[in-house]
Amino acid sequence: MAELQFIANGNGRQATPPRPKSPWGLPNYSPTSLNQHANCPEAFLHERVLKTPFAEDQGSVALAKGSAVHALLQRYVCMDLARSTQFEERLESEASRALAAQGLPSANPGHLAAVDEVMTCTANGIDVLRNEYAGASLLIGEQFLSLNWTQGPAPFRLTAKIDLLACFPDGSVESLDWKTGKPRGLDQIQNIICRLVTEANASQIFKRYLPTGAPPAIRTTVCHLSTRKLTVQQFDHAQLEAEFADIRARIAHIEKAKATPVPGSHEWMPQPGPLCGWCKYAQACSYHASMGAAMPWLDDELVQGR
């Protein structure tokens, strides 16, 4: 996790508050893990319960580009005006170094094309920060926020990575998520969890900037860096309570199913779909194994394009 920096529009930095530690060994859930379970319970089982060894990640280049953009924007948020100007002037070399740090060095054939993409997304992000967040009284860089649910038979921790938190003069708070991939529909689970963990931590994080002790409004915003489009969601308390109740029920179901971790069983069925080609656990998948046994010609047919 990158060091948390407080930037008060050039008025100086403040010390980073320590990341809270829980005394409980709670199972941890995130938007990524809950979406993975919803898309394919067996993939969730292999990665998060059985710890199955995985094949080479087909999406490693895309991951390197996305991680490089996030790292560059995180650095930009933590800079004063003079340093940020120099940073923009050498953005190409910064993008190249960021990609190398993510395992895509200049010797890689796809490095130059990736540099162009990273530069474009980073420049778009900087433009959004200048135009949409110039009025913020405080910007906070990348961090992990969590809340612990210890009531009921299935306690858990919800964790989400927040790319940017902004506090505005009216006391409202906005959490921002940078998206580097193709624009898709709203990720409801991610937005709900980001909203929950932001509310759980906002009073402590912004205590010097919130006269009421709690934000009057919290917005959850997604920025698609390819288009610079901002999508904002707000949830009233009735919606939030209903969504959180659904998350609790889903996690309780998963925790119960962990007692019988059998790939391909009723609780851990694979869900074949477009993402199968990118799955790290295809070789261990019960669906792929059964298909191969039933139709051993299938792979040859696909490869030869018949």
How many percent of the chain have pLDDT more than 70? 85
Nearest in space to 19 (alpha carbons), one of 145, 141, 142: 145
Secondary structure letter of residue 207 according to DSSP: T
Helical spans, DSSP H, in 110-187: 111-132
Q: What is the pLDDT of residues 132-141, one digit of tens each?
A: 999 999 999 9
Mean pLDDT of 263-287: 89
Residue-level pLDDT at 195: 95
Note the pTM of the prediction, 2 decimals: 0.82
What would the mean pLDDT of 260-265 be, rounded to a whole number? Answer: 96
Kindly give the residue spans of alpha helices, DSSP state H, lying in the chain.
31-39, 41-44, 60-77, 81-89, 91-101, 111-132, 188-205, 237-257, 286-294, 298-304
Indicate the pLDDT class of residue 219, thresholds 50, 70 and 90. very high
Average pLDDT along the chain? 85
Residue 45's pLDDT is 97
Query: pLDDT grade, residue 81 (50/70/90)?
Result: confident
Q: What is the pLDDT of residue 5?
A: 36
| Spans of all domains in the chain | 1-13+25-39+134-261, 56-132
pLDDT digits (tens, 9 = 90+) for 152-170: 889 999 999 999 999 999 9
* Beta-carbon contacts of residue 76 (< 8 Å; ≥ 6 apart): 84, 87, 122, 125, 126, 129
Spatial strand order in the sheet of 156-162: 28-29, 156-162, 143-149
pLDDT value at residue 21: 45
Confidence band for 292, pLDDT divided at 50, 70 and 90:
very low
Q: How does pLDDT run across 172-211, given as a tens digit for each residue?
A: 999 999 999 887 778 899 999 999 999 999 999 998 888 8
More confident residue, 273 or 128: 128
Answer yes or no: is pLDDT of 13 > 90: no
Q: What is the pLDDT of residue 29?
A: 98
| Percentage of the chain exceeding pLDDT 90 | 70
**CA–CA gap between residue 40 and residue 132 (Å, rounded):** 37
- The answer to whether residue 16 scores a pLDDT higher than 70 is no
Task: Determine the Cα–Cα distance for residues 24 and 156; give it in Å rounded to an integer.
Answer: 9
pLDDT of 236 strictly over 80: yes
- Identify the pLDDT of residue 304: 35
Give residue 275's pLDDT. Answer: 77
